Amino acid sequence: MQYLCNKYCTPENQHLYPTEPEQRGTVDRLLFFDMGTLTYAIKEYFRPKQFEGLPPDAEKENLLKQSLDYLDGVLETVEGGYLTGDKLTIADLAVLASLTELDAMGYAYKCYGNVTRWSNKLR
């Protein structure tokens, strides 16, 4: 997504991946969280179910909950309804894609109110 935005974004949609260093750094931080923490936690928790037909790994659920706690906290501190403020970015799209994996696997995260409101808004 970063490459596509770098190559094809126009001034009208530059908000997806801002060029201003501080804003871009915030988007990058959330992209790295998604890739390195949230997605990892989801995969580790559901690996037994996906590949071995076994129940999810209950010991790994704590990492997933910590990731969702962090995401819920991020959403609590920003104003504007998106992960970085009042404009949609590729960080929103990446994290939402990861959450759809939880939906597909039947994992309930409704207790994370900010995450639930944000994901419903984006859908």
Residue-level pLDDT, tens digit, the chain, 123 residues: 999 999 999 999 999 999 999 999 999 999 999 999 999 999 999 999 889 989 888 889 999 999 999 999 999 999 999 999 999 999 999 999 999 999 999 999 999 999 999 999 999
Structural domains of the chain, ranges and CATH numbers in brackets:
21-122 (1.20.1050.10)
Q: How far apart are CA 78 and CA 58, in angstroms?
A: 31
User: Please, which contacts does 105-108 make with residues 24 or more away whose CB atoms are closer than 8 Å?
Assistant: 105/46, 105/49, 105/56, 107/45, 107/46, 107/64
pTM: predicted TM-score of the whole model, two decimal places? 0.92
pLDDT at 50: 86
CA dist 35 → 9, 10, 59, 113 (Å):
22, 26, 21, 22
pLDDT at 58: 87
